[in-house]
């Protein structure tokens, strides 16, 4: 029998695969000998070449499959349901009242997923209110109209990608907020379905929640259902800043206002939301004369400063216009008020968030 170069006999190499090298346990010959196949030398050579070419790919496929399985297991371990290593990005860019309405969402995440890392992307003009918030580990800011500047978009993308967020929650439902969530690279992008998912947000987010709540706060909380968070308690936890509180106390002392005072804000972003200034003045005079309550009138622009001066002129000894305040100082001033009166605006929602009794005047938009 001729031995080939591989060290095996020609006849043995030509045996059917199920018989080649197979011997009974007792070492005796096969009871039913397999049929010997005659193979030419060139056929043997082609077979060896084919086996040498196929086997490495077979082992590579096994290696790739094992690597993919290992990576998938590591990913499942890194993003476990308990949220111990979950990295979550909240996207609520504006405006003041809407940012305040989103605070309970952050608090619910912190309470239900205490080990998770929570980031918040917001426009820089509202960032002061979130600085030091107990639920926010990473505070990220962008300028207003950032989407109109390609360089700003690329820089935001780089910042977000470096933080490696697993989940992004679009609590605004607009193209700009959904695009920011998409730029983060998060695999799960939770956002609103209809009707609150507007513009291109429903195409950019990949987990849509059809909410049923009418008010903004419970509606935002419904976005947490895909993360297993249902019916959480509503808590705002507006940060208390010691320096801002000291500045507020100094201001109230200079104006001669004691602890019992009323805050009025006659301004609003939309003209249709504004109540006439003379009616605010009539209410302020009534509170001052009938209930002996000093009134502090807030303003956020030059036009509102003129309205505040108009109210103060009705009863100068009891009604005082406040200077322009930072958001932290505004929160400190509101905390000491007995009552808040104003239109549908950010200060109204901030007053409610810090626990002040409020009278809100709503016009074209439901409460």
63 band by pLDDT with thresholds 50, 70 and 90: very low
pLDDT one-digit tens code per residue, 185-210:
999 999 999 999 999 999 999 999 99
In three-state form (DSSP H/G/I as H, E/B as E, the rest C), the secondary structure along the chain is: CCECCCCCEHHHHCCCCCCCCCCCCCCCCCCCCCCCCCCCHHHHHHHHHHHHHHHHHHHHHHHHHHHHHHHHHHHHHHCCCCCCCCEEEEECCCCHHHHHHHHHHHHHHHHHCCCCEEEEEEEHHHHHHHCCCCCCCEEEEECCCHHHCHHHHHHHHHHHHHHCCCEEEECCCCHHHHHHHHHCCCCEEEEECCCCCCCCHHHHCCEEECCCCCCHHHHHHHHHHHHCCCCCCCCCCCCCCHHHHHHHHHHHHHHCCCCCCEEEECCCCCHHHCCCHHHHHHHHHHHHHHHCCCEEECCCCHHHHHHHHHHHHHCCCCEEECCCCCHHHHHHHHHCCCEEEEECCHHHHHHHHCCCCEEEECCCCCC
What residues does 339 pair with on adjacent strands?
262
The pLDDT value recorded for residue 41 is 46
Structural domains in the chain, CATH included, are: 87-227 (3.40.50.2000), 242-361 (3.40.50.2000)
The pLDDT value recorded for residue 59 is 40
266 band by pLDDT with thresholds 50, 70 and 90: very high
pLDDT one-digit tens code per residue, 333-356:
999 999 999 999 999 999 999 999
pLDDT one-digit tens code per residue, 86-96:
999 999 999 99
Decide if pLDDT at 364 tops 60: yes
Share above pLDDT 70 across residues of the chain, in percent, rounded to a whole number: 76
More confident residue, 11 or 170: 170
Decide if pLDDT at 35 tops 50: no
Decide if pLDDT at 265 tops 80: yes
Decide if pLDDT at 21 tops 50: no
Decide if pLDDT at 47 tops 70: no
The pLDDT value recorded for residue 75 is 39
The pLDDT value recorded for residue 96 is 97
More confident residue, 244 or 10: 244
The pLDDT value recorded for residue 303 is 85
Decide if pLDDT at 146 tops 50: yes
Decide if pLDDT at 12 tops 50: no
The pLDDT value recorded for residue 2 is 41
Which of 31-35, 214-218, 291-295 shows the lowest per-residue confidence on average (mean pLDDT)? 31-35
pLDDT one-digit tens code per residue, 281-314:
999 999 999 999 999 999 988 889 999 999 999 9
19 band by pLDDT with thresholds 50, 70 and 90: very low
The pLDDT value recorded for residue 258 is 78
The pLDDT value recorded for residue 208 is 98
The pLDDT value recorded for residue 310 is 93
Note the pTM of the prediction, 2 decimals: 0.77
């Amino acid at each position: 029998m001729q031995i080939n170069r591989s060290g095996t006999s020609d006849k043995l190499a030509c045996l059917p695969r199920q018989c080649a090298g197979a011997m009974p346990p007792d070492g005796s010959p096969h009871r039913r000998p397999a049929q010997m196949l005659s193979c030419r030398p060139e056929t043997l050579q082609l077979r060896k070449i084919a086996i040498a070419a196929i086997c490495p790919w077979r082992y590579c496929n096994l290696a790739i499959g094992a690597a993919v399985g290992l990576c998938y297991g590591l990913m499942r371990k890194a993003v476990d349901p308990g949220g111990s290593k979950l990295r979550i990005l909240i996207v609520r860019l504006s405006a003041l009242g809407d940012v305040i309405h989103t605070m309970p969402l952050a608090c619910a995440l912190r309470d239900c997923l205490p080990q998770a890392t929570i980031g918040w992307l917001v426009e820089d003009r509202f960032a002061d209110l979130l600085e030091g918030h107990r639920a926010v580990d990473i505070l990220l800011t962008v300028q207003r109209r950032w989407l109109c500047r390609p360089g700003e978009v690329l820089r935001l993308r780089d910042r977000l990608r470096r933080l490696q967020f697993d989940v992004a929650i679009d609590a605004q439902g607009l193209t700009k907020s959904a695009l920011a969530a998409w730029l983060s690279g998060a695999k799960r992008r939770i956002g609103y379905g209809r009707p609150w998912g507007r513009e291109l947000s429903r195409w950019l987010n990949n987990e849509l929640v059809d909410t049923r709540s009418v008010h903004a706060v419970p509606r935002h909380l419904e976005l947490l259902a895909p993360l297993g968070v249902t019916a959480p308690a509503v808590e705002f936890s507006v940060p208390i800043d010691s320096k801002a509180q000291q500045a507020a106390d100094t201001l109230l002392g200079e104006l001669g206002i004691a602890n019992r005072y009323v805050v009025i804000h006659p301004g609003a972003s939309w003209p249709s939301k504004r109540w006439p200034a003379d009616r605010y003045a009539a209410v302020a005079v009534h509170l001052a004369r009938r209930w002996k309550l000093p009134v502090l009138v807030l303003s956020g622009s030059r036009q509102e400063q003129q309205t505040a001066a108009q109210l103060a002129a009705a009863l100068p000894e009891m009604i005082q216009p406040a200077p322009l305040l930072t958001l932290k100082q505004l929160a400190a001033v509101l905390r000491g008020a007995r009552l808040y009166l104003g239109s549908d605006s950010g200060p109204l929602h901030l007053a409610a968030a810090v626990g002040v009794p409020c009278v809100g005047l709503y016009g074209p938009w439901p409460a």
